[in-house]
């Protein structure tokens, strides 16, 4: 660096404001002086230019000056707030060795390691201690002994006790989901953080980073290649509390949206604007509209946090537009992400400890739910995810955090995201003869985490089929005419961003409260009269969330009777479709959660007893015909017996020694 700039730098760092700041910093034991780029620019344009063009020299000089002023070794200058943000995918050769600013989401952070900054070597011949500054990529030994009487080329021993170390951490940042609309693959950038800025951010944080883009030659075995890999040497890292998506809103947008709050049809218009290319499914659209609007979580005085996100499961026949809906939502929802349970590899859905290329150690890598923190995670083929993911997702759905304790890394990451999941029924398609709840492919514990379970059945219905055919045909002939919605996706997204940021619905209306209370009590009463338990506290919480989301969707912060009513109707519809025990004619939440309705459970028990009796009479294997006859005499239908025997064979409770007989596997 030219000496003129060096002088200006001295002058800058000796300034009054900076001196004051430095005294504060040294008092607290920190080792970083953070300066806004703007201040540097104001002080001297040339100096600012010097930083941008030749940052390495600039920082070396600045750090030396700071160490001189404060007498604290390792004191560093960090610069933040560059006027321009370069997108990770737009980093090019011209940026090499420059000072740049990028933004993204931190997806990995490695373990903090000590890095040798100044290594001390003892000469084996004369005992002289040689100090070598470690600046490059590889560890450097002295070329020859400094002792004028020795001057030998070694050998040297490293004196670890005298070597100066500093903290070192490798990270990886990825383009934020906002920049990836349209299903692009995210690009990544590796970075290295040093000294007291390590562990400033955790995976999942949205960050703005300044740093020097340095490059390192790639190697293939021992040969050096002509290509280089990029690593950002981080100067400053800023964790943003609010998402960048909020910057999408202009003042004009806000004005327009505020105006919308007066529209009495706003709620309906929003629902109509959800996946306009998909025909029908009004209930599904209403549910996912409520989900993206969400509601604020409840923070209790004792520190308990009750989630505000609604989780929805779509379970449907193949070809019912589930994937289409999920992708569309991931695109429109702020911080929305789409993934499939089947192909979520690497960090998977939650988080994982993985080997790091740069350091060779373990790093924590954020998965889909962590990256979608504060947004919506669409997970297709939900039933196909791996065991590890399933276990982690259970924690995440209720607590909205993931704890990782693997390979020496212990961390808790936030996953405050709504989950929109899709599955096929257990046997691929819904079977009309079996209650739908018995065909959900998830285990009951997982199922109970969902606020709403929506069934999408593909049954031939003449009038519906005709209108659907016309809809699809029109889509191909005159797309503009069919795919018509009150709000286009971009504007809908803006409404959602606005509502999530500004509207906090409160449940203060006595009548609305009463309504939810009564609904809960009445439905529970059905249970008291001997019917299976129809509704649990989870549904009550879901109900409150949905009522609040209804208010937020109207851009109002008061939950009204109408909001409560809408929420109740939605829950009723879902429970009826999925959980109705048609024979007992009550909604059976037990059925939804365990897959066996209560009245059926009794019949199943009876059939098992009959089998046991007949086993005794027929030497260990009950003839199926006889079981049916006996069951029929007790009012249990033949189709039930057949279905039950099939089901129990699948579960392993029963087996067939011969095609005509059946036995209990466990006696
Ligand atoms: P799934 O994931 O449920 O198996 P897909 O989302 O892949 O189904 O949908 C299959 C195709 O059928 C898509 O092209 C989708 O647009 C179309 N489709 C299915 N149902 C509808 C509908 N109700 N309206 C419009 N298109 C539909
Ligand atoms: Mg699909």
Q: Is residue 62 over pLDDT 80?
A: yes
Which ligand 1 atom lies nearest to the CA of residue 324?
6
Q: Is residue 540 over pLDDT 70?
A: yes
Centre of ligand 1 from the C-alpha of residue 270, in Å? 21
How many angstroms separate the Cα of 581 from the Cα of each of 14, 312, 442, 447, 587? 79, 21, 19, 17, 6
Centre of ligand 1 from the C-alpha of residue 454, in Å? 16
User: What is the distance between the alpha carbons of residues 234 and 236, in angstroms, rounded to a whole number?
Assistant: 6
Provide the pLDDT for residue 358: 65
Centre of ligand 2 from the C-alpha of residue 368, in Å? 18
Which ligand 1 atom lies nearest to the CA of residue 316?
3
Residue 280 near ligand 1, beta carbon < 6 Å? yes
- For residue 178, name the pLDDT band (cuts at 50, 70, 90): low
Lowest mean pLDDT across 101-105, 147-151, 432-436: 432-436
CA-atom Rg of the chain in angstroms: 32
Identify the nearest ligand to the CA of 318 by its number.
1
Provide the pLDDT for residue 9: 87
Provide the pLDDT for residue 140: 84
Question: Closest Cα to atom 16, ligand 1: which residue?
Answer: 321
User: What is the distance between the alpha carbons of residues 295 and 553, in angstroms, rounded to a whole number?
Assistant: 10
Residue 203 near ligand 1, beta carbon < 6 Å? no
Cβ atoms 26, 73 nearer than 8 A: no
Which strands sit side by side in the sheet containing 376-380, from one edge to the other?
336-340, 376-380, 418-423, 312-316, 452-456
Encoding tokens for residue 560?
């009204």
Lowest mean pLDDT across 85-99, 315-329, 346-360, 549-563: 346-360
Residue 278 near ligand 1, beta carbon < 6 Å? yes
Provide the pLDDT for residue 582: 46
Identify the nearest ligand to the CA of 429 by its number.
1
The residues near 245 (Cβ < 8 Å, ≥ 6 apart) are 178, 334, 335, 497
Cβ atoms 546, 294 nearer than 8 A: no
Between residues 65 and 441, which one has the greater pLDDT?
A: 65
User: What is the distance between the alpha carbons of residues 350 and 390, in angstroms, rounded to a whole number?
Assistant: 9
What's this model's pTM, rounded to 2 decimal places?
A: 0.73
Cβ atoms 400, 309 nearer than 8 A: yes
Question: Nearest 5°: CA angle at 466, between 461 and 471?
Answer: 125
Consecutive H or E run containing 645: helix 638-651
Test site for ligand 1: of 276, 319, 466, 485, most ligand atoms within 8 A of the Cβ: 319
- pLDDT tens-digit series, residues 587-631: 666 666 666 666 777 788 888 889 988 988 888 889 999 998 888
Centre of ligand 1 from the C-alpha of residue 376, in Å? 21
Centre of ligand 2 from the C-alpha of residue 340, in Å? 9
Centre of ligand 2 from the C-alpha of residue 380, in Å? 7
- For residue 347, name the pLDDT band (cuts at 50, 70, 90): low
Encoding tokens for residue 253?
């947008």
- pLDDT tens-digit series, residues 32-51: 899 999 988 888 888 888 89
Cα 492 → chain centroid: 22
With CA atoms as reference, report the closest residue to 204 among 400, 32, 406. Answer: 400
Identify the nearest ligand to the CA of 316 by its number.
1
Question: Closest Cα to atom 17, ligand 1: which residue?
Answer: 321
Write down the residue that tokens 């809809």 correspond to. 471
Centre of ligand 1 from the C-alpha of residue 455, in Å? 14
Beta carbons within 10 angstroms of residue 88's beta carbon:
20
User: What is the distance between the alpha carbons of residues 417 and 412, in angstroms, rounded to a whole number?
Assistant: 15
The residues near 632 (Cβ < 8 Å, ≥ 6 apart) are 638
Centre of ligand 1 from the C-alpha of residue 543, in Å? 29
Question: Closest Cα to atom 1, ligand 1: which residue?
Answer: 319
Residue 318 near ligand 1, beta carbon < 6 Å? yes
User: What is the distance between the alpha carbons of residues 560 and 258, in angstroms, rounded to a whole number?
Assistant: 19
What residues pair up with 27 in beta bridges, in sequence order? none
Return residues with CB closer than 5 A to ligand 2 (ion): 323
Tell me whether strands 223-240 and 188-194 are parallel, antiparallel or unpaired.
parallel
DSSP state of 305: E
Centre of ligand 2 from the C-alpha of residue 351, in Å? 24
Centre of ligand 1 from the C-alpha of residue 244, in Å? 32
Consecutive H or E run containing 115: strand 113-123
Residue 321 near ligand 1, beta carbon < 6 Å? yes
Provide the pLDDT for residue 495: 92
Question: Closest Cα to atom 14, ligand 1: which residue?
Answer: 321
- The CATH superfamily of 88-241 is Nucleic acid-binding proteins (2.40.50.140)
Cβ atoms 402, 353 nearer than 8 A: no
User: What is the distance between the alpha carbons of residues 524 and 612, in angstroms, rounded to a whole number?
Assistant: 36
User: What is the distance between the alpha carbons of residues 445 and 449, in angstroms, rounded to a whole number?
Assistant: 7
DSSP string, 390-404: HHHHHHHHHH-EEEE
Q: What is the CATH code for 248-502? A: 3.40.50.300
Q: Is residue 531 over pLDDT 50?
A: no
Identify the nearest ligand to the CA of 468 by its number.
1
Consecutive H or E run containing 157: strand 156-158
Q: Is residue 118 over pLDDT 50?
A: yes
Provide the pLDDT for residue 587: 61
- For residue 72, name the pLDDT band (cuts at 50, 70, 90): confident
- pLDDT tens-digit series, residues 268-302: 999 999 998 888 888 999 999 999 999 888 888 88
Write down the residue that tokens 């070794």 correspond to. 73
Residue 424 near ligand 1, beta carbon < 6 Å? no
Instruction: Please report the sign of the dihedral spanned by the C-alpha atoms of residue 355, residue 358, residue 363, residue 366.
Output: negative
- pLDDT tens-digit series, residues 396-411: 888 888 877 766 667 7
Q: Is residue 378 over pLDDT 70?
A: yes
User: What is the distance between the alpha carbons of residues 96 and 53, in angstroms, rounded to a whole number?
Assistant: 10
Residue 319 near ligand 1, beta carbon < 6 Å? yes
Encoding tokens for residue 31?
């080792």
How many residues in total does the chain contain?
667
Which ligand 1 atom lies nearest to the CA of residue 322?
3
Centre of ligand 2 from the C-alpha of residue 275, in Å? 15
Residue 323 near ligand 1, beta carbon < 6 Å? yes
The three-class DSSP label of residue 75 is: coil
Residue 639 near ligand 1, beta carbon < 6 Å? no
Residue 285 near ligand 1, beta carbon < 6 Å? no
Test site for ligand 1: of 324, 328, 423, most ligand atoms within 8 A of the Cβ: 324
Lowest mean pLDDT across 123-127, 164-168, 324-328, 350-354: 350-354
Residue 316 near ligand 1, beta carbon < 6 Å? yes
DSSP state of 28: H
Cβ atoms 286, 271 nearer than 8 A: yes
Alpha helices, H only, 555-637 = 561-579, 589-594, 598-617, 624-633
Provide the pLDDT for residue 559: 92
Encoding tokens for residue 191?
């970075």
Residue 297 near ligand 1, beta carbon < 6 Å? no
Share of the chain above pLDDT 90, in %: 16
Beta carbons within 10 angstroms of residue 321's beta carbon:
20
Residue 275 near ligand 1, beta carbon < 6 Å? no
Average pLDDT, whole number, for the chain?
83
The residues near 478 (Cβ < 8 Å, ≥ 6 apart) are none
- Average pLDDT score over residue span 155-163: 88
Centre of ligand 1 from the C-alpha of residue 278, in Å? 7
Identify the nearest ligand to the CA of 325 by its number.
1
Identify the nearest ligand to the CA of 476 by its number.
1
Cβ atoms 33, 21 nearer than 8 A: yes
Identify the nearest ligand to the CA of 317 by its number.
1
The three-class DSSP label of residue 454 is: strand
- Average pLDDT score over residue span 177-196: 77
Question: Closest Cα to atom 9, ligand 1: which residue?
Answer: 321
The residues near 612 (Cβ < 8 Å, ≥ 6 apart) are 664, 667
With CA atoms as reference, report the closest residue to 653 among 607, 619, 616, 614. Answer: 607
Q: Is residue 346 over pLDDT 60?
A: no
Residue 326 near ligand 1, beta carbon < 6 Å? no
Identify the nearest ligand to the CA of 322 by its number.
1
- pLDDT tens-digit series, residues 470-495: 888 888 887 777 777 888 888 999 99
- pLDDT tens-digit series, residues 637-648: 888 888 888 878
Residue 623 near ligand 1, beta carbon < 6 Å? no
Identify the nearest ligand to the CA of 314 by its number.
1
- Average pLDDT score over residue span 226-245: 81
Q: 2-80 belongs to which CATH class? A: alpha beta
List the chain domain ranges. 2-80, 88-241, 248-502, 510-593, 598-664
Test site for ligand 1: of 279, 321, 379, 473, most ligand atoms within 8 A of the Cβ: 321
Pick the CATH number of 598-664 from 3.50.50.60, 1.10.10.10, 3.40.630.10, 2.40.30.170: 1.10.10.10
Strand ranges, E, within 318-470: 336-340, 351-355, 362-366, 376-380, 401-406, 409-414, 418-423, 452-456
């Amino acid at each position: 660096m030219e000496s003129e700039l060096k002088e200006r730098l001295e002058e800058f760092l000796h300034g009054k404001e900076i001196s004051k700041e430095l005294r504060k910093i040294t008092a607290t034991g920190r080792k970083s002086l953070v300066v806004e780029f703007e201040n540097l620019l104001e002080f001297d344009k040339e100096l600012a230019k010097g930083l941008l063009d030749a940052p390495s020299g600039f920082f070396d000089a600045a750090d030396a000056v700071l160490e001189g002023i404060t007498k604290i070794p390792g004191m560093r200058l960090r610069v933040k707030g560059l006027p321009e943000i370069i997108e990770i995918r737009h980093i090019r050769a011209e940026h090499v060795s420059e000072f740049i600013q990028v933004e993204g989401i931190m997806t990995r952070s490695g373990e903090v390691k000590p890095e040798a900054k100044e290594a001390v070597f003892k000469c084996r011949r004369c005992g002289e201690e040689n100090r070598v500054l470690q600046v490059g990529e590889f560890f450097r030994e002295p070329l020859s002994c400094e002792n004028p009487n020795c001057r030998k080329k070694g050998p040297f021993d490293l004196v670890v006790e005298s070597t100066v170390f500093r903290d070192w951490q490798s990270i990886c940042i990825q383009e934020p989901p906002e920049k990836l609309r349209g299903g692009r693959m995210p690009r990544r950038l590796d970075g290295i953080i040093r000294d007291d800025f390590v562990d400033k951010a955790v995976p999942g944080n949205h960050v703005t980073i300044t740093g020097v883009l340095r490059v390192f030659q790639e190697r293939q075995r021992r040969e050096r290649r002509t290509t280089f890999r990029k690593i950002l040497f981080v100067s400053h890292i800023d964790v943003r509390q609010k998402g960048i998506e909020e910057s999408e809103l202009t003042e004009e947008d806000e004005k327009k949206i505020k105006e919308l709050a007066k529209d009495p049809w706003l709620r309906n218009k929003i629902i109509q604007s959800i996946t306009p290319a998909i025909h029908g499914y009004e209930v599904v659209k209403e549910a996912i509209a409520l989900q993206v609007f969400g509601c604020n979580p409840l923070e209790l005085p004792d520190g308990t946090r009750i989630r505000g996100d609604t989780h929805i499961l779509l379970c449907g026949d193949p070809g019912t537009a589930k994937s289409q809906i999920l992708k569309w939502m991931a695109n429109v929802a702020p911080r929305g992400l789409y993934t499939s349970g089947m192909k979520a590899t690497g960090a998977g859905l939650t988080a994982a400890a993985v080997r790091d290329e740069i350091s060779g150690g373990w790093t924590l890598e954020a998965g889909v739910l962590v990256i979608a923190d504060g947004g919506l995670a669409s997970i297709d083929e939900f039933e196909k995810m791996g065991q590890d993911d399933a276990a982690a997702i259970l924690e995440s759905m209720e607590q909205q955090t993931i704890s990782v304790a693997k390979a020496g890394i212990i961390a808790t990451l936030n996953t405050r995201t709504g989950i929109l999941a899709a599955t096929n029924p257990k046997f691929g398609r819904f079977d009309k003869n079996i209650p739908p709840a018995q065909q959900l492919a998830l285990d009951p514990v997982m199922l109970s985490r969902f606020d709403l379970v929506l069934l999408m059945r593909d049954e031939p219905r003449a009038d519906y089929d005709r209108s659907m055919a016309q809809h699809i045909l029109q889509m191909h002939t005159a797309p503009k005419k069919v795919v018509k919605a009150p709000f286009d996706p971009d504007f809908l997204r803006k409404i959602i961003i606005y509502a999530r940021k500004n509207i906090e619905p409160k449940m203060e209306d006595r009548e609305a409260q009463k309504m939810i209370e009564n609904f809960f009590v009445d439905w529970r009463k059905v249970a008291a009269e001997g019917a299976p338990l129809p509704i649990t506290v989870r549904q009550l919480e879901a109900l409150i969330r949905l009522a609040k989301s209804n208010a937020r969707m109207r851009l109002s912060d008061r939950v009204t009777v109408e909001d409560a009513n809408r929420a109740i109707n939605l829950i009723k519809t879902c429970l009826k479709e999925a959980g109705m025990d048609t024979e007992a004619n009550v909604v059976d939440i037990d059925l939804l959660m365990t897959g066996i309705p209560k009245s059926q459970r009794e019949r199943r028990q009876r059939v098992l007893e009959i089998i046991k009796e007949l086993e005794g009479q027929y030497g260990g294997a009950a003839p199926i015909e006889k079981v049916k006859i006996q069951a029929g005499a007790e009012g249990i239908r033949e189709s039930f017996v057949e279905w039950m025997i099939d089901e129990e064979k699948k579960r392993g409770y029963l087996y067939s020694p011969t095609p005509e007989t059946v036995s209990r596997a466990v006696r």
